[in-house]
Structure 1
Amino acid sequence: MTDALRKLDDTYSETAIDDEIVLMSLRSGDFFSLQGTARSIWLLIDGSRTRANIVAALAAEYGVEPGAIAPDLDAFVAELQGVGVLAGG
């Protein structure tokens, strides 16, 4: 995964409610409640950051080793790619 992760803007709808982002895939109709780390990841996906950049940013934000974050990031990205709202990586 060396390409920048990017949101496919025409494939989802999102609404921020307090510290949560509610995301709906327009293709599948699936809803996602993004809170905590998931919210942080979503906000970091801006079309310019690679997986490695996001892992580094999260490690710094949460004060943990990058290796502890990478598997969760990969699972989150794979799920959102699976419903068609993310590309790249």
Structure 2
Amino acid sequence: MTMAAVEIYTKFGCPYCSRAKALLRDKGVDFEEHDITMGGPDRATMIERANGRTTVPQIFIDGEHVGGSDDLAALDRAGKLDPMLEGAAR
């Protein structure tokens, strides 16, 4: 089974980032983390990719913006997260 590529933009000390990363880890998902605590080009990239959203975390699954921590948790509660993570739509 091929897992989806997951990217998460975070800042140091962000409780929502920690919660989102914990959910992904609980599901056994490897993810690429972009720490934007100090800003820089990754922050500008995140804002562009997230349609102007500046809050963290911002989460992308196979390049698709799924939103923040609450959005990720809502997808999980709705039973939609696992199929996305499994890359079932590929």
TM normalised by structure 2 equals 0.30
